[in-house]
Structure formats: structure tokens, C-alpha cells
Amino acid sequence: MNIYYPPQFWKKKKLLFGITGGISAFKVVGFVSHLVQAGSDIQVIMTKAAQQFIGENTFNALTRKPVYSDLFESGEKILHIHLMREYENLVVAPATANIIGKMAGGIGDDLLSSCFFVDPKKVIFVPAMNVDMWHNPIVQENLKKLVAIGTRVMVPSSGNLACGERGEGRLPEQEVFLETLYYLLCSPQSLQGKKVLITAGPTREYIDPIRYLTNSSSGLMGCSLAAAARARGADVTLIGGPMSVRIPSGIRYIPIVSSQDLKTATLEHYDKTDVCIMSAAVADYRPSNPSAVKIKKQGKTELILNLIQNPDILSELGRRKVSQILVGFCAEDGDLLVEAPRKLQQKNCDVMVANRILPGESGFEVDKNKAWFLNKNGEMIDIPLMDKMELAETIIDHLVAFYFS
């Protein structure tokens, strides 16, 4: 299961986790365990109510340090001040209606609520409760108050709730939680207010109702770019062919099948976009006369397919370009540094990301990519072989540096 954040992001991160008394406290065990393994320094604070749902020893063992729960814990330092100065952020998960109300109402009567008042801008609430409690106007009003002073809130997921009802109020699943936390903590938000359109994955060109021509693109590079742009505050639309990877959270996803679908969907969104990244592996050809019924082999020892060329979507975007920053991808096993500048110019792109196809090492169906970033002024940046999520961040940061700073 792909989770879209660069692996190094959690290394040496110092986070406080405030656990309150909700049934979904058990899920936070998984989050904490994952972050500790990813290299973060996690200190857990539990309220009295949280201890009704999960034992301190679980977190003691996972974080390899004692859980704090008592405001008056004896020691040389004033604990709530010390913790909030020492750690980068406080994640309150699950955040019950009670703790949200307490903090919005100015009550600091235990260690966790006292920590909040030291620095509300460092606090991230992850509310989890029954759907009607979540929609209760007092809870919503309280959250607005907290947001107004700089506290961040992770919107709960929708689905089955512990009470047996369905609706909004679920603590997000681990991959959504970790990705959203990465988005919330990522800084600077250099693409805030920008619309980014990304295409990803392969296309399918049907021969008959059940058979098709395609390629081995997984969609990982495009999904990683979508997450990296979202983490920098962009409003991201991802148009993707049938992908073998999970779609990142927090973005608008438009599934398509064929290259013609891809063209229609891309052109529909292109006018309103600031940056368009064509990382989809578009099939160059499609059967000219697909069969409406399953092709039978009876009596045939040979089957000849007639193919016609698909429209070149990137070239069409290049022709229609007004103020968009247009980014193409060029995957080659041949003369990459000749082909990439040629395609950049011919398709009227601003940037071409050239990546080397080395089976099993770089390019398709692997987690890594070796790339070069070329812009239309002839500048070229050689990017070493790296994890696709790291590469996505590098590409987005180069785009920001060239066009948005």
C-alpha cells in the first residue's frame, strides 16, 4: 500500500501525541508505531479518559519512553511549557468533542489541555466521534474558534462508526492520516492558491470488450507528484488511467480509461490551471476498428490489428497554452538528452522531465527514477536516481524555484 510522503520527512521529527478518550484511540497505536519506525521522536500524553480505552504501557513500549498524563508530574521543569517548547507539534488524536470544547472554551485543567494554551499554532486536531456529534453546531463553532487562532484540523473520514452508525466522524485510516499530517506539516506552502493538473498512469485502448493494448506504467510517479504539489498547498486535480497504486488523499481524482478520455478530461480542466504536468504514459496507437463483441479465434491462425495514431495531447496543450506552466515527461531507453529537448521544443512545453528507462532500476514498474529537469531556456538539472516520491518533491521544488518565487 503506497503512502505518499518522502521517507526522510519523518526522520528526526519531534511530535507530541495527545490521546483523548475515544474508542479510536486504538488506531493511534498504529500511527505512533509507524512514525517511531520512520525515525520520529514521539512523546505521548494521555488524558484520564484515554486510559479507559488503551493502556499507557502500549505507548511506553512503542515510544521507548514513559507516557505523561499528570500536569503535576514532579520534575525540574514545568512540564506543559517544557514539552511545547521542546517538540515541533502536538497532534491530538483522537480529539473528542469534550477536548475540543475545553480548548475552545479556555479550560486548561489537565496536562494535554494546558499544553494547548502554550502554543495553539503548533496543535493539530484529529477529531473522531459519532456523526451527529461531529455535525453538532457547538462542536463546529468550537473548531472554527480554534482554526481562527491558527490551530489546524484534520477532517474526519466517512464510513462505519464504532457506535454502529455510518457517516462522518471516523478517525482516518493510517495511510490517509500519515499523508494528511504530512500535508499539514509541510512548509513552505509555496503553491498555495495555485491549481495543478496532473495526468498519470497508462491508458487502455480496447481491441474488443475484454482485451486491450496498454503499457506497464503503474501511475506511481504521477500520484507522487500529486501528493507533493498538494503538500505545498496546491489545489490538485489528478486525471489517471487504470493504475496499480493507491490514489493519494486530499486531491480531486478523475479516472479515465482511453487516451481519448484522457484528452477530453485534460482539455476540460486545462484553461483553469496554473501548472499542468503530463506524466501519463499515453498509448500512441489504438485499434482503428475495435470489435463490439469478443473476437473468436476459431478458424484463424493469425490476427492482424490495424492501429491508428492517437492525438498527441501534450502538443495540443502546447498549442492552447496561455499562461500555464506546461510540463512534459519523456521516458527513453535511447538518446534521452537529444530526444527530451526536441520534444520540449516541438510540444511547446516550459519544462521536460527526462527519465531513463532501465528495466528493474529506473522508470516503469519500479519505485525509483533517474531524471533530468530541462527548461525552455536550455537550463538542465541532473537529478540522481532516487525514490519516486523524493523525485516528485524535487521536481515540484524546481518548478516553484523557476516559476513561483
Piece in contact with ligand CTP (CB under 6 A), picked from 126-134, 169-177, 205-213, 324-332 = 324-332
Under the criterion CB under 6 A, does residue 282 sit at the interface with ligand CTP?
yes
Q: What DSSP letter does each residue of 46-66 carry, written as one string?
A: E-TGGGGTS-HHHHHHHHTSP
- 32 contact partners, CB below 8 Å, separation of at least 6: 17, 42, 44, 59, 62, 63
Under the criterion CB under 6 A, does residue 310 sit at the interface with ligand CTP?
yes
- Residue 104 vs 283, nearer CB to ligand CTP: 283
CB of 304 to ligand CTP, least distance (A): 22
* Contact pick of 312, 367, 387, 397 for ligand CTP (by CB under 6 A): 312
Piece in contact with ligand CTP (CB under 6 A), picked from 6-14, 156-164, 232-240, 308-316 = 308-316
* CB of 69 closer than 8 Å to CB of 76: no
How far is 336 from 299, CA to CA, in rounded Å? 44
Q: Which of 162, 142, 43, 24 is nearest to 93 (CA)?
A: 24
Residues recorded for the chain: 405
| Helix/strand/coil (H/E/C) assignment for every residue in 301-333 | CCCCCCEEECCCHHHHHHHHCCCCEEEEEEEEC
* Contact pick of 50, 313, 383, 400 for ligand CTP (by CB under 6 A): 313
Helix (H, G, I), strand (E, B) or coil at 95: strand
How far is 351 from 324, CA to CA, in rounded Å? 11
How far is 146 from 13, CA to CA, in rounded Å? 24
Under the criterion CB under 6 A, does residue 276 sit at the interface with ligand CTP?
no
How far is 350 from 399, CA to CA, in rounded Å? 10
How far is 44 from 59, CA to CA, in rounded Å? 7
How far is 126 from 92, CA to CA, in rounded Å? 6
- Known catalytic residues are 163
Under the criterion CB under 6 A, does residue 328 sit at the interface with ligand CTP?
yes
Under the criterion CB under 6 A, does residue 221 sit at the interface with ligand CTP?
no
Phi-psi label, residue 377: left if phi above 0, alpha if psi -120 to 50, beta otherwise: alpha
Residues in 76-95 that interact with ligand CTP by CB under 6 A: none
Under the criterion CB under 6 A, does residue 274 sit at the interface with ligand CTP?
no
How far is 373 from 221, CA to CA, in rounded Å? 15
* CB of 372 closer than 8 Å to CB of 380: yes
- Residue 146 vs 313, nearer CB to ligand CTP: 313
CB of 235 to ligand CTP, least distance (A): 21
Under the criterion CB under 6 A, does residue 330 sit at the interface with ligand CTP?
yes
* Contact pick of 284, 367, 387, 397 for ligand CTP (by CB under 6 A): 284
| Terminal Cα-to-Cα distance of the chain (whole angstroms) | 34
CB of 344 to ligand CTP, least distance (A): 9
Piece in contact with ligand CTP (CB under 6 A), picked from 21-29, 35-43, 327-335, 359-367 = 327-335
CB of 397 to ligand CTP, least distance (A): 20
CB of 403 to ligand CTP, least distance (A): 18
What crossing angle do the helices spanning 56-63 and 25-37 adopt, rounded to 10°?
Answer: 10
Residues in 29-48 that interact with ligand CTP by CB under 6 A: none
CB of 389 to ligand CTP, least distance (A): 19
CB of 259 to ligand CTP, least distance (A): 6
- Residue 310 vs 394, nearer CB to ligand CTP: 310
Under the criterion CB under 6 A, does residue 286 sit at the interface with ligand CTP?
no
CB of 280 to ligand CTP, least distance (A): 5
- Residue 143 vs 262, nearer CB to ligand CTP: 262
Under the criterion CB under 6 A, does residue 392 sit at the interface with ligand CTP?
no
* Contact pick of 97, 227, 231, 280 for ligand CTP (by CB under 6 A): 280
Residues that bind ligand CTP (CB under 6 A): 259, 278, 280, 282, 284, 310, 312-314, 328-331, 343
